Structures are given as structure tokens and as C-alpha cells.
Chains A and B, each alone.
Chain A
Amino acid sequence: MPLNINLQQILLHWMNLAILTGGLYFLLYKPVKQFMDKRSAYYQELEDRAADGLAQAERLKAEAQAKLEAADDEIHDERMRAQQAASDAAQEQLAQAEEQARRIVAKAQAEAEQSKERALRESQREMRELAAKAAKKLAAKPGADFFDQFLDLTEGGGAHEGR
């Protein structure tokens, strides 16, 4: 064969290469690759776990945020309710005060009316008594004009009252 090409030696080289490939695969390539894969899987697992932890923390944060918002809403509602209650109480007190004032005014008016009526009755009674007294005196003085005596008496009585 040209160039000293020898089929037998080519086959021997093939055998040599096949043994080398198989040997290196089982002795070196496969174990090293397995170890590398194992380490990759380990770090992947760590990464996954960290990602899970992160996701859980995010979820907890969201839950806490939601709770905070709910608490804020509740506080707002409570405040509104308290304000409403205070406002209602103030209105009620105002209404009570107005009612009381109205009662006081009405009572005062009634009392004033009663006083007025009493004074009127008193003055009428006094007038009647004066009239009766004057009539008695007139009846006691003979010859006198009744009408003039009455007027004198009443003028004297008024002066007496003015004093």
C-alpha cells in the first residue's frame, strides 16, 4: 500500500482508541461529570430552597400588608363610628338642652302669667276693698255728694298707695 498504509495497524489503532475511549469514560469522564452534576443539583436545590423561602417571605409580607390595611380600615371605621356616636350624643344633649330651655321658658312664662293674674286679682280685690271702704265712709257722712266723696277718697287712697 502507498505511504505504508496498513489495514491491520489501522484496526489495531481502532482497538486502541476504543479501549481508551471506554476506559477514560468509565474511569474519569463519567465520575467527574456525575460529581459535577451532583454539585449542580445541590446548588440548584439550595437556589430553589432560597427561592421558596423568598416566595414565602413575600407571601408573608403580602399577608402582613393585607392585615395592616385591614387594621387601618378597621381603625378608620371605628373612628368614623366614634365620631358619629360623639356627634349623636352631642345632638342629643343639644336637643335635651333645648327641650329643657323650652320647658324653663314655658314654666317662666306660666309663672309670669300666674303672677300677672295674681297681681291683677290682687289689685281688683284691693279696688273692691277700697270701693267698699269708700262706700262705707260715704254712707257714714250724711249730706255729702257721694260722687265727690268717692273721688276724694280714691285720690287720697291713690296718694296713700303712691307713698
Chain B
Amino acid sequence: MKQHKRGLAVCLAAAVLLFIAALLAGSPGPSESVQEAMRDAVLHGTGQVSLLGLMTVNPGMISALLVTAFLLLCAALVRIFAIPRFQYRPGRLQLLLEELVGLFDNMAKSNSPHRSRFLGAYLFAAGSYIFVGTLSELLGLQAVTVHGHPITLPAPLSDVNAAIAMGTLSYLVILSGGIASNGLGGVGKTLKEFSLPISMSFRLFGALLSGLLVTELVYYYVALSFVLPVVVGVLFTLLHALIQTYVLTMLTALYYGEVSEPSPQKGKKKKLRAENA
């Protein structure tokens, strides 16, 4: 009990000291106004980063590549070290992995019972990408812009290009399900939902960007940088990582199931053929 009290006292003392130090040190002076910071967070007009010297890209692209590399590295490690040791009575890691795979697999099966194999794999990848990508902004990884300024890497999907890519790719996946199940009829069914890629893209973009803007706003003022980031930075990020993962995967699964459902005429034709045979 005494040890706990002593630890708490040390933490409090450190926090107070850091707060005083921050106030005394003061800000180097805003290099840009809050409006410019907000605009830059949205448009990345001045915050471009070089991609291996080949081209300049938004920092979201770098985040996306890092998230992909991280996910693939984790997957490779799990594949090499964990999966060969899987047992019929699972341990904690195995249980977690099975829950994750089972979650997206069941989502695919329940929403698209006719065709769910590819959908499950896509939902798993998209869900992992959105969740881990959104959480990656908590790390505050730094990069250097082409102008030599340091920049904190944002969540990949707070970049409009990443959000559009995710939305349109999901739409293409839905379209592929429609074509695979119903041919041209499936294309018609999918094209009927022409607003889907836009809504999916900008929903993701808006949700992730709003989180980014609020965080930017909070960190813009030194006085707001205490206690508040725990709520804004951690809890909100966790919450909207979960929500956005669920929303995009669920929407994709729903529309995929809808367009890949065999049309009644096709079913009738198949039945007739089977009866004739």
C-alpha cells in the first residue's frame, strides 16, 4: 500500500514538474496559424514527403506503407512461429487469431451466404488495415517533408487518396461478387448503387479526418496538452478505429451479399436444366 502511494506521489510530482517546465520553456512560436495547420492536415499542400526519392506523396501514403509492412511482418511471424504450434485446445494468442479470423469469416458468411470465401479474406484485410492504421496515429511517428520540416505521420485513411482507394476498392470487390454470381445482371445490380464508392470513401475520410483535426487542434495549444490528450488521443482513436472498421466491413459485406445473391430467374433456369438432365 505504501509503495502504491509512493509511486502515485512520484507520478504526480513528475507531471507537475513537466507542466511547469513546459510553461517555462514556452512555445517556439507558431510557425503557422491554426487555419494553416488545419488546411495542411486536410490537403497536405506543404507537407509532402518523398517516397524513396522516386516521387513526392502525402504523409498518409507513408503511413499506409508502414502499416502494411507492419501487418505483413506480424502475419509472417505468426505464420512461422505461432501457427505451426496451434493446438486443438487454443492458447491466448491462438484464441485471439481465431476470434479475429472467425469474426470476419462469420460476417462474410452471414451477410453473403452464397459466396463468402473471397469476401471473408477481403474483410479481414480491410478491417485489419483500418483498425491498425487508425491506431497508428497514436504512435506519432515522425517523417521529414520535402521542405525539411518534421511532420507527424497521420492515420493512412485521414488522407483523402487512401480513403478513396479504400472506398473504390471495396466497391470493386462488391462489383466482382456481383459479376461472379450473376454476370451482367450483377453489374447492373452493383451500378445501381453508384453512390456507394463516394459515400464509403468520404465517410471514412470524414471520420478519420475529424479525429485528426481535433487532435491537431488540441495539440496546437500547449495548455490543452495535459490530461485531455488521454481522452482525445487514446480513447477517441480507439473508439473510431473500432467503429470505422465495423462500418466499412459491414457495409461491404452487406452490399456484396446483396449483389451476389443469385437472381430468381437464374435459379429457375438452373432448376429447369437440372430437371431436364
Q: Which A residues contact B (CB, under 8 angstroms)?
A: 3-6, 8-14, 16-21, 23-25, 27-33, 35-36, 39, 42
B105 and A20 within 8 A (CB) = no
Q: For the complex, is B98 an interface residue (Cβ under 8 Å from A)? A: yes
A13 and B162 within 8 A (CB) = yes
* Stretch of B9-17, B25-33, B55-63, B269-277 with 4 or more beta carbons under 8 angstroms from chain A: B55-63
Bound together, the chains give a CA A25 to CA B160 distance in angstroms of 26
**What total of chain B residues lie within 8 Å of the partner, measured CB to CB?**
44
Contact of A42 among B88, B120, B129, B156 (CB under 8 A): B88
* Stretch of B65-73, B187-195, B248-256 with 4 or more beta carbons under 8 angstroms from chain A: B65-73
Known: A5-B161, A19-B68. A27 touches B76 (CB 8 A): yes
Q: Closest 7 A-B residue pairs measured CB to CB?
A: A13-B165, A27-B75, A21-B125, A9-B161, A28-B75, A25-B121, A32-B101
Bound together, the chains give a CA A17 to CA B173 distance in angstroms of 12
Q: Which B residues contact A (CB, under 8 angstroms)?
A: 42-45, 55, 57-58, 61, 64-65, 68, 71-72, 75-76, 78-79, 83, 86, 88, 97-98, 101-102, 104-105, 120-122, 124-126, 128-129, 156, 159-162, 164-166, 168-169
A-B contact count (CB 8 A): 114
Taking chain B's interface residues, is the majority helix, strand, or loop, or is none over half, making it mixed? helix
Residues of A within 8 A of B83 (CB): 31-32, 35
A-B contacts, 7 of them at CB < 8 A, read A12-B61, A13-B64, A21-B125, A27-B75, A28-B101, A36-B98, A36-B102
Contact of B160 among A4, A18, A29, A31 (CB under 8 A): A4
Bound together, the chains give a CA A149 to CA B272 distance in angstroms of 145
Q: In the complex, which of the residues A18, A24, A30, A35 has the most CB atoms of chain B within 10 Å of its own CB atom?
A: A24
Contact of A29 among B64, B124, B164 (CB under 8 A): B124
A3 and B124 within 8 A (CB) = no
Q: CB-nearest residue of chain A relative to B156?
A: A13
The smallest C-beta distance from B79 to any residue of chain A, in angstroms, reads 5
